[in-house]
A and B are shown apart, each in its own frame.
Chain A
Amino acid sequence: MSQWLAMGGYGAYVWASFALTAAGLVWMSLAASRARRNWFRNEDEDQ
């Protein structure tokens, strides 16, 4: 397990890039979905 996490000595680079991509992709989808859901509610408050 710890050998797998070490990624042959490149662990820091590999995990950092996967974590970064995960954050990017999750934010990309969730922000878009949230914007669609919230629009109706915010519009309701505006009026």
Chain B
Amino acid sequence: MWTWFHRLASPPSFFRFADRLAPWVGGLGFVLLAIGWTWGLVYAPPDYQQGDAFRIIYVHVPAAALSLGLYTGMAIAGACALIWRMKLAEVVMLAMAPVGMVLTAVTLLTGMLWGKPMWGAWWVWDARLTAELVLLFLFLGVIVLGDAIEDPRRSARAAAWIAVVGIVNVPIVKFSVNWWNSLHQGATVLSFGKPAITVDMAIPLYICLLATALLAAHAVLRRAQVRLLQREARTQWVKALRAQELGALP
């Protein structure tokens, strides 16, 4: 197990591993997405409260879950990069940031499109929404800092600090906004009536969740590969790979 882990952590074997894995992960992701969306849009019954608007759940919830998951993953990779100075952890952390930012933006926008017909407002300053917005800025901060410094290792470790400090703050933001909302009582409190989800609504949701996770994994693997190539541009294995790759190109 550990030898396998160590071998994977070396850049050339991670690169080959990602090359073998990524096409399958991405392909399966798109196939499952097509199945999940068709199921969700055509065959799942409409919600008795929300009607057909509830179908936005099939894009909103997977994006939200993955944006949080990617931030957690990024912070863990960042902590590994800071504590053990693992090169691969730095690369994976930086690869997760743009993917997470896209999913966070999708979450916010689809959430607004869901909120308008359901609550009558595009946006409310609720804890979950605000935390997601803060997440967007944290991802942006990691992306900007990850490329701000010329020395890539210093840049990556600086970004790792922001990822780690940020994850401590997300629950604090949630708590503070909840407190803030409770301060002025009498203001209209929006009820987030959860749609009572039945099995034939839930199965496509799980399929969409898995599909989004696979697509995110695919994008992270590919971006990590590019980061590795940039870092290791002068090493033998990249030079050998380049010769092979350019020979194979038409």
Contacts and interface: CB of A to CB of B under 8 A. Distances in A.
Given A8-B46, A24-B106, A28-B102, A17 B117 contact: no
B51 A8 contact: yes
Interface stretch (B5-13, B143-151, B241-249): B241-249
Most A CB contacts (10 A, CB to CB) among B52, B63, B218, B242 go to: B52
Interface residues of B, number: 48
Interface string A21-47: 100110111011101100111011000
A20 B105 CA distance: 10
Contacts of A16: 113
A45 B233 CA distance: 14
A7 B52 contact: yes
B33 A17 contact: no
Interface string B209-220: 000100110111
Given A13-B114, A41-B249, A44-B242, A35 B59 contact: no
Given A8-B46, A9-B51, A29 B102 contact: no
B94 interface: no
B39 interface: no
A4 B242 contact: no
B223 A32 contact: yes
B26 A33 contact: yes
A17 B60 contact: yes
B222 A33 contact: yes
B21 interface: no
B233 A18 contact: no
B97 interface: no
Contact of B41 (A18, A28, A35, A41): A18
Interface string B226-250: 1001100100000001100110010
A17 B109 CA distance: 7
B140 to A, nearest CB: 16
B55 A28 contact: no
A17 B222 CA distance: 26
Contact of B106 (A10, A21, A33): A21
A36 B109 CA distance: 28
Interface of B: 22, 26, 29-30, 33, 37, 41-42, 46, 51-53, 55-56, 58-60, 63, 99, 102-103, 105-106, 109-110, 113-114, 116-117, 212, 215-216, 218-223, 225-226, 229-230, 233, 241-242, 245-246, 249
6 contacts: A8-B53, A17-B56, A20-B59, A28-B215, A39-B230, A43-B233
Given A9-B52, A10-B52, A29-B222, 8 more contacts: A20-B106, A21-B63, A28-B102, A29-B26, A29-B30, A36-B222, A41-B246, A43-B233
